[in-house]
Amino acid sequence: MGGPERPARPEREPHHPARPKGEPRFPDGPQPDPAGSHFERRIRSFQPRRSRVTSGQADALQRLWPAWGLDIDGQRVVDLAELFGNENPVVLEIGFGMGEATARMAAADPATDILAVDVHTPGQGHLLHLAEQHGLTNVRVGNGDAIILLREMLAPDSLDGLRVYFPDPWPKKRHHKRRLIQPEFLDLVATRVRPGGTVHCATDWEPYAEQMLDVLSAHPAFENTRPEGGFTPRPGFRPLTRFEGQGLEKGHVVNDLLFRRVPHHDPSCREPRHDQSPTGG
């Protein structure tokens, strides 16, 4: 007699060949490394995050990226009026997470264009989805290193403001050099934000807030909008995010800093170097 009948093996799932190295995940969407090897590899202030892209985000990336997306390749100077289709003032936002706050600010101020830059693909897709859902024509999404964008792709005095909300605090002392808000970064920002434009930062990491305040206060191209100096109350145009609200409930302290680009740039301010180490994105 033969042994017991073996159960039939389940049919294997069809094999999907791996995507060849370098082939974009979304052929009509953001490129995986838009600047490639054209620029030096520097100490970066951001870490690309890998998480699942939902079907809705993927659909938005495929359909909307050709019209509303910008790959930061460093190969050309961007005509912002052409990018947005108008002559409105443009604010650069570095690091927008999932884009909810960006979308709310864009909806509240349709006369201001927002160029929002991040390297998080799900967030890029979600912001594009929100922009379409709410009819926001004043949002464009940048993919890549914000330093390359500022240095290579934006004309002098082309921005009316810069927003950096809750950047990575890099809490370990040996990593402080990776923090975005550094004197060299502000040297570059000072050449791209017009006189009278603003730099608005926010963080829930108090040691980083103190460093930001010190660095911005010491820079000759910027002045605190608070005559008495120090931090500013959260401006009404910056929405309270869900993440921020959860932090406040736990006792976290959130500090805002709002500085203005001074009308006359002090000649003692250094010109940005092409080998500067801090970066953004």
Find the length of the chain. Answer: 281
Please indicate whether residue 109 is annotated as part of the active site: no
Q: Which of 109, 157, 168, 256 is catalytic?
A: 168
Would the annotation count 5 as a binding residue? no
**Structure tokens, 196:** 């009278």
242 labeled part of a ligand binding site: yes
- 241 is an annotated ligand-binding site residue: yes
The annotation status of 23 as a binding-site residue, yes or no, is: no
- Any idea what DSSP says for residue 215? H
Q: Is 231 annotated as a binding residue?
A: no
Q: Is 194 exposed, middle or buried (0-12, 13-18, 19+ CB in 10 A)?
A: middle
The packing angle between helices 183-192 and 206-218, to 10°, is 60
Helix (H, G, I), strand (E, B) or coil at 176: helix
Question: Do 200 and 93 meet the contact criterion of CB atoms below 8 Å apart?
Answer: no
Q: CA 180, CA 185: separation in Å to the nearest integer?
A: 7
Backbone angles phi, psi at 82, to 5 degrees: -70, -40
Distances 137 to 62, 110, 205, 226, 258 between C-alpha atoms, Å? 18, 8, 33, 33, 26
Q: Is 177 one of the annotated binding-site residues? A: no
Q: Does the annotation flag 28 for ligand binding?
A: no
In the 8-state DSSP scheme, what is residue 152?
A: I
212, 204 in Cβ contact below 8 A? no
Give a three-class secondary structure readout of 85-138: CCCCCEEEEECCCCCHHHHHHHHHCCCCEEEEEECCHHHHHHHHHHHHHCCCCC
Does the annotation flag 145 for ligand binding? yes
The answer to the question of whether 118 is labelled as a binding residue is: yes
Question: Which residues define the annotated binding site for substrate?
Answer: 172, 204, 241-244
Active site residues: 168
Instruction: List binding-site positions for S-adenosyl-L-methionine.
Output: 93, 118, 145, 168
Annotated binding site: 93, 118, 145, 168, 172, 204, 241-244
